[in-house]
Amino acid sequence: MAIEKVIVIDDEPIIRRSLELQLRGKRLSVALCSTIAEAEKYIARDSFDLMFVDVRLPDGDGTDLLNRLAPRPEKTAYRGHDRVRNDRISGQLHPFRRI
């Protein structure tokens, strides 16, 4: 499956902007969100091939969002601070795994 549409969910503007520049540079369609509520609105009206999800968000835990969305999307990456939880990449949990 080719990756075409990506959603970035992170409350830090510099992280969102950095990922956006990198992903758009690879000619990918990118949606940017700073909260789980905002992400859920995007996800309700569109599908994404890849998600970058921060663990600590202002309105909740990014891994809780991933668990609610399982089994889609197929490939996911997240970033977190000192609290590392598992996320889904083809059923296996690998933080910062290169996709």
pLDDT bracket for residue 20 (50, 70, 90)? very high
For all residues of the chain together, what is the average pLDDT?
A: 79
Q: Is 55 a domain residue? A: yes
CATH number at residue 62: 3.40.50.2300
Domain membership of residue 61 as a residue range? 5-79
Q: Is 90 a domain residue? A: no
- Relative to beta strand 60-61, strand 56-57 is antiparallel
Q: Is 72 a domain residue? A: yes
Q: Is 93 a domain residue? A: no
Model pLDDT for residues 56-95, shown as the tens digit of each residue:
999 999 888 888 887 655 555 555 554 444 444 444 444 4
Is the predicted pLDDT of residue 31 greater than 80, yes or no?
yes
Q: Which amino acid is at 50?
A: L
The structure's pTM equals 0.73
Is the predicted pLDDT of residue 35 greater than 50, yes or no?
yes
Measured CA to CA, the distance from residue 61 to residue 81 in angstroms comes to: 12
Neighbours of 12 (CB within 10 A): 12
C-beta of residue 26 within 8 angstroms of C-beta of residue 2: no
Q: Is 89 a domain residue? A: no
